[in-house]
């Protein structure tokens, strides 16, 4: 089988249909323009062309026609090469975000509008998160908090004071408010030091009881963070709250993630995955 023996559909080497040179195609021929200098003045070129019989006067017409056609394709090719790359393919492209055939992501109004909504929604969410987390409950690095051991197996001392050592502020974003598990949701992670041991803090007494009897604290966290991680120690109030004022840049940071997202996913997919709904909701929360 030919195709198998050739090892696939490898292109045969280019061969000029004008001068028969195997190292270029007719559109890049350097012999045709030299010959055309003569033909355009109705003179027969003095050089012997690759096609032997063209030298015979009765085939001069054929030689002339072939040279003229080759000149056409050379000019077309050069004009095409002069265009910017994007323009050469523009007709066959469509917008990966909204699906329109008339533009690409680069100039998609729908994408720009959605991105602006994402920025607004995320800023609104971050402002709210700061309010609940830092201002109200004193969760920030260096803060002392009361914790309660949640293990049902332990009957020993339950309460302790812990020092907050780490909060994943840089990762927290709008999609912490998205309950759907998967590509988007982000968990709130608060690490504390309890008697010399690093522990992850939890903000619900028990995940199973969450829906039946949520405390006001739980309800508050539920609004902003759908998933606050799992740990043995439950947050049980702040000891001292000397929270620093909000750094305004934190609220508007994290834009890169949304810039990236709209380049990777289509609007329809984001809609299907509940992302559009979350953005629509939070862009109106003040
Ligand atoms: Zn050639
Ligand atoms: Zn578009």
Please give the distance, rounded to the nearest whole angstrom, from the Cα atom of residue 39 to the centre of ligand 1: 16
Do 17 and 111 fall within a single domain? Answer: no
Is residue 94 included in any domain, yes or no? no
Q: Kindly tell me if the per-residue pLDDT of 260 is higher than 50.
A: yes
Nearest ligand atom owner, CA of 103: 2
Do 148 and 206 fall within a single domain? Answer: yes
Using a 10 angstrom Cβ sphere, with 0-12 exposed, 13-18 middle and 19 or more buried, the burial of residue 261 is middle
Is residue 167 included in any domain, yes or no? yes
Do 15 and 135 fall within a single domain? Answer: no
Cα–Cα distance, 251 to 131 (Å, whole number)? 11
Do the Cβ atoms of 121 and 174 come closer than 8 Å? yes
Do 135 and 270 fall within a single domain? Answer: yes
Give the percent of the chain with pLDDT over 70. Answer: 82
Nearest ligand atom owner, CA of 20: 1
Cα–Cα distance, 170 to 189 (Å, whole number)? 11
Do 191 and 259 fall within a single domain? Answer: yes
Domain that holds residue 255: 105-240+248-282
Q: What is the pLDDT of residues 191-220, one digit of tens each?
A: 999 989 999 888 865 554 455 667 777 778
Do 169 and 264 fall within a single domain? Answer: yes
| Residue with more model confidence, 165 or 90 | 165
Please give the distance, rounded to the nearest whole angstrom, from the Cα atom of residue 152 to the centre of ligand 2: 54
Please give the distance, rounded to the nearest whole angstrom, from the Cα atom of residue 46 to the centre of ligand 1: 16
User: What pLDDT sits at residue 4?
Assistant: 27
Please give the distance, rounded to the nearest whole angstrom, from the Cα atom of residue 97 to the centre of ligand 2: 5
Nearest to 94 by CA among 86, 103, 82: 103
Lowest mean pLDDT among 133-142, 170-179, 211-220, 227-236: 211-220
| Per-residue three-class SS string for the chain | CHHHHCCCCCCCCCCCCCCCCCCCCHHHCCHHHHHHHHHCCCCCCCCCCCCHHHHCHHHHHHHHHHHHHHHHHHHHHHHHHHCCHHHHHHHHCCCCCCCCCCCCHHHCHHHHHHHHHHHHHHHHHHHHHHHHHHHHCCCCCCCEEEEEECCCCCCCCCEEEEEEEEECCCCCCHHHHCCCCCCCCCCCCEEEEECCEEEEEECCCCCCCCCCCCCHHHHHHHHHCCCCCCCCEEEEEECCCCCCCCCHHHHHCCHHHHHHHHHHCCHHHHHHCCHHHHHHHHCCCC
Is residue 88 included in any domain, yes or no? no
Do 67 and 144 fall within a single domain? Answer: no
| Residue with more model confidence, 157 or 239 | 239
Is residue 212 included in any domain, yes or no? yes
Do 188 and 275 fall within a single domain? Answer: yes
Do 116 and 226 fall within a single domain? Answer: yes
Please give the distance, rounded to the nearest whole angstrom, from the Cα atom of residue 107 to the centre of ligand 2: 7
Please give the distance, rounded to the nearest whole angstrom, from the Cα atom of residue 100 to the centre of ligand 2: 5
Cα–Cα distance, 28 to 69 (Å, whole number)? 13
Q: What is the pLDDT of residues 40-62, one digit of tens each?
A: 999 998 876 667 778 888 888 98
Do the Cβ atoms of 285 and 191 come closer than 8 Å? no
User: What pLDDT sits at residue 156?
Assistant: 55
User: What pLDDT sits at residue 247?
Assistant: 80
Domain boundary among 82, 116, 139: 82
Highest-confidence segment of 3-12, 81-90, 110-119, 170-179 = 110-119
Please give the distance, rounded to the nearest whole angstrom, from the Cα atom of residue 49 to the centre of ligand 1: 10
Nearest ligand atom owner, CA of 95: 2
Please give the distance, rounded to the nearest whole angstrom, from the Cα atom of residue 259 to the centre of ligand 2: 15
Is residue 99 included in any domain, yes or no? no
Please give the distance, rounded to the nearest whole angstrom, from the Cα atom of residue 25 to the centre of ligand 1: 6
Please give the distance, rounded to the nearest whole angstrom, from the Cα atom of residue 16 to the centre of ligand 1: 4
Nearest to 164 by CA among 260, 240, 60, 249: 240
Is residue 168 included in any domain, yes or no? yes
User: What pLDDT sits at residue 148?
Assistant: 85
Please give the distance, rounded to the nearest whole angstrom, from the Cα atom of residue 126 to the centre of ligand 1: 66
CA–chain centroid gap for 168, Å, is: 22
User: What pLDDT sits at residue 123?
Assistant: 95
Do 69 and 111 fall within a single domain? Answer: no
For residues 59-90, one letter each, b for 16 or more C-beta atoms within 10 angstroms of the residue's C-beta and e for the rest, the string is eeeebbebbeebbebbeeeeeeeeeeeeeeee
Q: What's the token pair of residue 243?
A: 């929270």
Please give the distance, rounded to the nearest whole angstrom, from the Cα atom of residue 129 to the centre of ligand 1: 70
Domain boundary among 82, 115, 131: 82
User: What pLDDT sits at residue 2?
Assistant: 25
User: What pLDDT sits at residue 13?
Assistant: 64
Is residue 220 included in any domain, yes or no? yes
Please give the distance, rounded to the nearest whole angstrom, from the Cα atom of residue 117 to the centre of ligand 2: 16
Lowest mean pLDDT among 48-52, 97-101, 144-148, 252-256: 48-52
Is residue 131 included in any domain, yes or no? yes
Q: Kindly tell me if the per-residue pLDDT of 222 is higher than 60.
A: yes
User: What pLDDT sits at residue 215?
Assistant: 74
Do 175 and 233 fall within a single domain? Answer: yes
| Residue with more model confidence, 277 or 226 | 277
Structural domain total, the chain: 2
Q: Kindly tell me if the per-residue pLDDT of 252 is higher than 80.
A: yes
Do 124 and 191 fall within a single domain? Answer: yes
């Amino acid at each position: 089988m030919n195709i198998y023996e050739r090892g696939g559909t490898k292109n045969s080497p280019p061969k000029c249909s004008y001068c028969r040179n195997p190292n270029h195609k007719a559109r890049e021929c350097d012999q045709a323009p030299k010959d055309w200098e003569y033909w355009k003045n109705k003179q027969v070129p003095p050089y012997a062309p690759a096609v032997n019989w063209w030298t015979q006067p009765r085939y001069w017409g054929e030689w002339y026609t072939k040279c003229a056609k080759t000149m056409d394709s050379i000019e077309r090719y050069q004009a095409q090469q002069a265009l910017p790359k994007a323009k050469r393919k523009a007709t066959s492209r469509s917008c990966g975000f909204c699906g329109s055939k008339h533009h690409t992501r680069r100039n998609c109004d729908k994408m720009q509008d959605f991105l602006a909504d994402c920025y607004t929604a995320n800023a609104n969410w971050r402002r709210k998160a700061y309010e609940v987390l830092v201002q109200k409950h004193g969760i920030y690095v260096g803060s002392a908090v009361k914790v309660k051991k949640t293990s049902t197996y332990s009957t020993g001392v339950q309460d302790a004071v812990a020092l907050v050592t780490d909060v994943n502020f840089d990762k927290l974003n709008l999609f912490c408010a998205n309950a759907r598990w998967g590509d988007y949701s982000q968990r709130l992670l608060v690490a504390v030091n309890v008697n010399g041991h690093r522990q992850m803090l939890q903000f619900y007494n028990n995940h199973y009881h969450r829906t039946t009897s949520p405390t006001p604290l739980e309800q508050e966290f539920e609004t902003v963070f759908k998933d606050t991680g799992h740990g043995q120690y439950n947050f049980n109030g702040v000891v001292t709250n000397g929270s620093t004022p909000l750094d305004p840049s934190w609220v508007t940071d994290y834009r890169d993630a949304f810039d990236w997202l709209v380049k990777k996913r289509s609007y329809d997919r984001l809609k299907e995955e509940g992302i559009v709904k979350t953005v629509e909701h939070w862009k109106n929360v003040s």
